[in-house]
Amino acid sequence: MARSGFVLTVDDRTPPLVVHEGDGFRLERLPLGTQVVYPAESMAPVADLREAVDKALDQPLEAQPLDSLLRPQMRLTIVFDDIAVPTPTMRRPDLRGAVVEAVLTRAARAGVDDVELVCANGLDRRLTAAEFQHLLGERVFRSFYADGKLRNHDAEDPDGLAVVSGSQGISINARVATSDLVVAVHLTGGPSEGGTAGLAAGLGSTATIGRLRGLQAVQGDRTAAAEIAAAVDAAVPIFEIDVVLDNDIFSPPLDFLGRREWEWRIRDQARMRGVRRALAATPTRLRRRLLSAAQASFHATMIIAGAPEAVQAESRERALAQHLVELAGQADVGLIGVPQRNPFSVDSVTNPILAAWQGLGATFGAHTGRPFVREGGALVLYHPMTADFSGLHHPSYVDFFADVLISHPDPAQIQADFETKFATDPWYAHLYRTSYAFHGVHPCHLWYQLSLARQHCSDIVWVGADRRSVDRLGFRAASTLADALEIVAASVGRTPTISYLHAPPQIVVDIR
C-alpha cells in the first residue's frame, strides 16, 4: 500500500539529502531540526485502463453517456492538452492516445465522419509532428495529421477564432465554437485548472487567455474565469474526460530518487555517485539533452468523464489525495530545489525566468491556502540560473529579461507599461504562429504568478546561482546554504524554523 506524504525532522542520524539544482543534484546536510517534507508515494493505478475508460464514458457525471451524444452528420471536435502536461513527458504509450482512440472508436460506430482534433496549447508553443505522434499514437496521427484534421490551436489566427460573447469580448477556437460536441481530454498530475475555464485558457484568443492569466486573475479575482466559463458553456456542449496521474516520475536509472534517502540500498548509493560524476563530466548541452530526454512512467489512478465542472471537482479531489501533505505550521525559512525540466522547457532550455517560475510559482504556490513559509519569511532555492535562452522557443523571454526586468520588476508596472507591447508585437506573433515560439506575452503571465512569492517573502536567495541573473530578477545569490542562512538572518533571526520541500514529485502543502 502506498505511503502518504511524510515529514522528517533532521537529527544527527539523518544522511545528506538529495536537492535538485537544475541539470544536476547535490547531497546537502541540512541543519538539525529542519522539517523535511517528502511527497506521497503513488496511489494504486487503475487495474485495466481500457475498462476504466469505457466505464467513465458509459457512466459520466451529470451528463448522458457518450454514445447517446454521438450521431451521424454531427461536427465532433476532440481537444487535448499539449506537451507541457505532464512533466516530465510521459513514456509511450501516452494515456491521451488510449482515451482519444476510445472516443474515435465510438464515434465511428455511431457514423460520425466529421471529426477533427485540436491541441489546446493556448499561448504555449506549437507541437511538432513527432510530438503529436508521441501524444496520440501512430494510428491516430496517421489518420488525421496529413489531412490537416489534427492541428495546434492558434490564438492569433483571425480566421480561426469565433466570438462566443461579443459584449464581453470572448473568442475561442472557431472549430470548437461551431462543433455539435466537444470532447476535452485533460491530464492532471496535480490540482491544475480543468473545467471550462481551463479549456478556454487552451483554446481562446490572446485577449481571452489574457483575462484568465493576467495579473488580476493571478491575484485571486475569479470574475473573468466565471464569465468566460459561462459564455463558453452556453455556446458549446462539452464532454470532459479527466485522467488523474500518479507520482511515478522517476524511471530507471533514476528511480532511486523516488525513495527516501535512509532507505537507499548500497546499489542506490553507488548509482547516485555514478550519476553525479557522469553529469559533472558531461558537456552542458549534452547533459541538458540527456535529462530532457528522460521520461516518466506515469499511470492513471482515476479516469472520470462528464460535465466539465463536475469532472473538475472530482479529479481535483483525487489529485489532492495523491499530492497533499499536512504540516503543523509555517516555517521561517523554506528550502526548494528546482529541477531543470518544467512544463515550458520541453526539448529546450530552462532560462532564469522559467527557473524562478518553477520554484516560486509552481512549487511554492502549491498549497491549499497558506504556503509553507510564513508571511515575511525567507526562501532559499537551488538552481544555477544561467542566462541561457532558446531563440527558437523563448524569443520574448530574452527581451523581457534584458529590457523589462532591469528596471521594472513590479508586476503592476509591467502590466501597465509592457504587457500590451508583448501581447501585440507582430514579430512575436509571427514566430508563435509559424515557428515553435511561445507567445510574446507568455513571460508576463509567468512573472505575475511568481511575484506572489516575492510579495509574501522578505528574502529570496538562490544557492549556486549566477549572480548577474539573480540580480536582474531582483533576488540574492549565495554560494552555500550556510551563506544563504546568514543572508536571511537579518529578517528571520539566527535560529529560524526551516522546512525543505523534497520535490519533485509534486507536493501540495496543507497547513493545519
The arithmetic mean of pLDDT across residues 87-106, rounded, is 94
**How does pLDDT run across 111-145, given as a tens digit for each residue?**
999 999 999 999 999 999 999 999 999 999 999 99
Which CATH superfamily, name and number, covers 6-33+328-511?
LarA, C-terminal domain (3.90.226.30)
Residue pair 85/120 in contact (Cβ under 8 Å)? The answer is no
pLDDT at 224 (0 to 100): 93
Residue 407, pLDDT score: 80
Residues of the chain with pLDDT > 90, as a percent, come to: 85
Show me where the domains of the chain are located.
6-33+328-511, 49-245
pLDDT of residue 384: 96
Residue 204 DSSP label: B
What is this structure's pTM?
0.96
For residue 65, say if its preceding peptide bond is cis, omega within 30 degrees of 0. no
CA distances for 131 relative to 58, 135, 249, angstroms: 30, 6, 19
147 contacts: CB under 8 Å, gap ≥ 6: none
What is the model's pLDDT at position 4?
Answer: 67
What is the model's pLDDT at position 488? 97
With cell 540527456, the residue in question is: 290
Other CB atoms within 10 Å distance of the CB of residue 359: 27
- pLDDT the model gives residue 265: 92
Name the CATH code of domain 49-245 (choices 3.40.50.11440, 3.40.50.150, 3.40.640.10, 3.10.180.10). Answer: 3.40.50.11440
Has residue 42 got a pLDDT over 50?
yes
- Assign 192 a pLDDT band (cuts: 50, 70, 90): low
Poorest-pLDDT segment among 14-23, 120-129, 272-281, 350-359: 272-281
Amino acid at 309: E
Q: Over pLDDT 70: what percentage of the chain?
A: 98
* Local confidence band at 166 (pLDDT 50, 70, 90 cut-offs): confident
Residue-wise pLDDT for 359-413, tens only, equals 999 999 999 999 999 999 999 999 999 999 999 999 999 999 999 998 878 999 9
Averaged confidence pLDDT in the chain: 94
The answer on pLDDT for 2 being more than 80 is no
Cα dist. 234→200, 229, 231, 382 in Å? 13, 8, 5, 46
Please say if the pLDDT value at position 3 is more than 60.
no
